């Protein structure tokens, strides 16, 4: 049975967790979905792990649509979320155009990076049958404006602003939120404050779901891993086993642990 937005909404209502991993091609999409992972994120992180870029900024809409098509062909039941790339949601019109292309490529939902200012675009997309996951906290597309990859929401003012933005985006029609590099306490507050599922990465085990970049959790990304990463290949006999171990760890809340949070 295919995972839908309603599936994940019910998981939240029932207090059950769900797992998300990135994929960029049909082969890994097949392995991930067969391992029971609930959702696949076709992330613009492909700029880093596939293209060798220093950030996600160079990734184009055409590239995102191509990789979404590849993932959709290999998928067997996971919900597919696709990233709207850099500047793809700069205006309401561009958000609609970008999201349409990704949905037609096989996505079930699009992900937009930003904050409360996304509300107008989310309302329009929702009205046109395009579900949205709003990505808050550390938004990699804005790395140049943020001055690097930094934890967000650490002081009282920014935490209050992020909590209010989450409420605004839910009211605008966002079907899901993703919090990246947000302190555990704030991530927990946001998860409890909204009725829609919240995915964490470098956030809190209290979030409804967790996501990692596939290359990170397999231990094959170059350089020093981020604090929130765990290498699931260490104790696995093969890649499918690592995917299953990750899925089980998210569901039984053994991942993320305290050392993976901020």
Element housing 200 (H / E): strand 198-201
pLDDT for residue 1 is more than 90: no
Q: DSSP class of residue 71? A: H
The structure's pTM equals 0.97
Q: 250 and 17 in contact (C-beta within 8 Å)? A: yes
Residue 14 annotated as binding site: no
User: 111: annotated binding-site residue?
Assistant: yes
Domain range for 241: 5-260
Confidence at 144, pLDDT banded by 50, 70, 90: confident
Domain count, the chain: 1
Is 120 a known ligand-binding residue? no
DSSP characters over 27-52:
HHHHHHHHTT-SEEEE-TTHHHHTT-
Tell me, what's the pLDDT at 148? 72
Integer CA distances (angstroms), 194 to 7, 12, 73, 119, 188, in order: 17, 10, 33, 15, 10
Does 238 count as an annotated binding residue? no
Which band of pLDDT confidence, cut at 50, 70 and 90, is reported for residue 187? Answer: very high
7 burial via Cβ count (<10 Å: 0-12, 13-18, 19+)? middle
Q: Which residue has the higher pLDDT, 53 or 145?
A: 53
Average pLDDT over residues 144-169: 91
105 contacts 72 by C-beta, under 8 angstroms: yes
| Cα 47 to Cα 129: distance, rounded to the nearest angstrom | 28
Query: Which residues pair with residue 179 across a beta bridge?
Result: 136, 200
pLDDT of residue 81: 99
Distance between CA atoms of residues 166 and 3, nearest Å: 24
21 bridge partner residues = 40, 212
Which CATH number belongs to the domain containing residue 59 in this structure?
Answer: 3.20.20.60
Mean pLDDT of 130-148: 89
Active site residues: 180
**Residues of the chain above pLDDT 70, percent:** 100
């Amino acid at each position: 049975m295919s995972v839908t937005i309603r599936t994940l909404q019910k998981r939240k209502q029932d207090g059950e967790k769900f797992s998300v991993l990135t994929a960029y091609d049909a082969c890994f999409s097949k392995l991930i979905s067969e391992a029971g992972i609930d959702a696949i994120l076709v992330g613009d992180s492909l700029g880093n792990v596939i293209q060798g870029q220093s950030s996600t900024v160079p990734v184009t809409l055409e590239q995102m649509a191509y990789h979404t098509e590849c993932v959709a062909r290999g998928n067997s039941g996971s919900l597919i979320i696709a990233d709207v790339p850099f500047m793809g949601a700069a205006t309401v019109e561009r958000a609609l155009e970008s999201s349409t292309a990704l949905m037609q490529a096989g996505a079930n939902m699009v992900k937009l990076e930003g904050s409360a200012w996304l509300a107008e675009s989310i309302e329009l997309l929702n009205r046109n049958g395009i579900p949205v996951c709003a990505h808050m906290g550390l938004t990699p597309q804005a790395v140049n404006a943020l001055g690097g990859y930094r934890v967000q929401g650490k002081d009282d003012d920014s935490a209050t602003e992020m909590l209010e933005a989450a409420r605004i985006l839910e009211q605008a029609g966002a079907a899901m939120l993703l919090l990246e590099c947000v302190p555990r306490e704030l991530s927990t507050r946001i998860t409890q404050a909204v009725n829609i599922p919240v995915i964490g990465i470098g956030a809190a085990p209290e979030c409804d779901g967790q996501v990692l970049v596939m290359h990170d959790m397999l231990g094959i990304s170059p350089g020093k891993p981020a604090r929130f990463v765990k290498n699931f290949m260490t104790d696995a006999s093969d890649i499918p086993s690592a995917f299953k171990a990750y899925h089980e760890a998210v569901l039984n809340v053994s991942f993320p642990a305290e050392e993976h949070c901020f």
